[in-house]
Structure 1
Amino acid sequence: MALRLPLIPLLLSLSMTCHASLRQAPEPELRELLLQTVAEADSFQDRFDAEVWLLDMSTRLKRYMPATQERLTLLRLVHREASKAGLKPDLVLALIHAESHFDRFAISPAGAQGMMQVMPFWKAELGRPQDNLTDNATNLRYGCTILSFYLRKENGDLNRALARYNGSLGQHRYPAKVIGFWQDFWYVKP
């Protein structure tokens, strides 16, 4: 088996070299937070996958969520909950982008709450009125489970599953929006 060098320091230095005109030297705090986040990321196949994905997504998400610790915590939660539900984490990020622009306190005109815009009636349906849908872990668990269910119900048809998720079955605008964010901004090639 090949020896793998710690990837985060390497990626940070390469990123700094490639984008020297755009940023200062990598912050030691960011390096430590990434290392801690990788160590706590239990939904990845291995440490290398965790380092690559977290650094890549953290860079993409920074414009919407500037606080490093908050960003890395969210990414770890997204990866965990998406993986549990059998979803691609980058698809979940695209859905969050479309639904709330990463605002955990977002409330839609219909009353949907949190990053994934979950309807509060689900709490009553599950007998869990105490659940807080603005808590990212709770919101992601509900949202990923709902989307995964609709994907199975629609036999893998992502357009129909997204339309069901949004309550707009038969319309194409919402699925096109999510898929557009996914393809243009969040998609990770296998």
Structure 2
Amino acid sequence: MATWRLRLGPLLFLTFISAVQAGTQREEPLIDSVRTALSAAVHQSGPPTLVHADVKAVNAFGQWLTQNEARLDKHLQRRKSSPTAASVANVAIAAAPNSSNVAPDFLAHELANSHLRREFLQTVWYESQRAGLEPSLVLGLIQVESGFRKFAISSAGARGFMQVMPFWTRVLADGDASVLFQAQTNLRFGCVILRHYLNVENGDLFLALGRYNGSRGQAPYPNAVLAAQKGWQ
């Protein structure tokens, strides 16, 4: 999929940019724990291994996964039939060397089959729990930020599912922003960044969400994320 994205040319690139609703995270000094966690994320790949404390936790996760697989499928089907999604798909079909391989993935926003959706949701659960966040909040944020597009790029340059700004990789690693198109790395960055902002704002979710989007103190973005979160609870 990554190679397809690079081959689609400027028209599809601009289509992706116009479809993303993201502000600009601002570069700020980081406490050591956040710097360490984010640096570790750059070097970790592959789906996480989930460990549950007991049978009750296993059952709770299974129920959560089943419910949200259905919700995600429904959401992607709605996006699939929207004019924006159709435009993206048509450009992909026209521009790609092998359109028969590309079209289904772009129509489904890179979550084309049940295996990919399940792996994505497992990673959301793992990374949100690891950061002490509600999975529903993370899913709501992803819905608003990228519309569940793995390769989304905003007009400000934010990347991936959680629209992480490239400066994070420059500050914390070797500056290779392409790692933000890796699902787990992107989700790790996004979750730890949001947790950091919650700590900075003394637990005030409204202000933390605004800071995440670069619109601290303004209502539209936090309200949009909190409204989207309700659909994943």
TM-score past 0.5 threshold: yes
CA distance 1:79–1:66, change in 2 (3 Å): same
Higher-helix-fraction structure? 2
Match of 2:163 in 1: 117
CA–CA separation in structure 2 for the residues paired with 1:143 and 1:44: 25
Asked if 1:182 corresponds to 2:191, the answer is no
Report 1:146-185 matches (<5 A). 146-183=193-230, 185=231
SS in 2 for 1:87: coil
Deviations 1:124-148 (A, max 9, x none): 1002334610111000000000000
Q: Name structure 1 gaps, 5 residues minimum.
A: 1-39
CA distance 1:43–1:120, change in 2 (3 Å): farther
Deviation of the 1:152 alpha carbon: 1.2
Deviations 1:54-109 (A, max 9, x none): 00111110132451001000000001000110101110000000000100000000
Of the three residues 54, 61, 67, the one matched with 2:65 is 54
Letter of the structure 2 residue corresponding to residue 41 of structure 1: L
Percent identity (aligned) = 44
SS in 2 for 1:163: helix
CA distance 1:44–1:153, change in 2 (3 Å): farther
- Tell me the matched-pair count: 147
Return the structure number with greater relative CO, CA threshold 8 A, min gap 6: 2
CA–CA separation in structure 2 for the residues paired with 1:69 and 1:47: 19
Per the normalisation by structure 2, the TM-score is 0.60
Q: Name structure 2 gaps, 5 residues minimum.
A: 1-48, 77-110
Match of 2:184 in 1: 137
Task: Name segments (4+ residues, structure 1) moved above 4 Å.
Answer: none
Per the normalisation by structure 1, the TM-score is 0.73
Let me know the Cα RMSD of the aligned residues: 1.5
Match of 1:41 in 2: 50
Letter of the structure 1 residue corresponding to residue 71 of structure 2: R
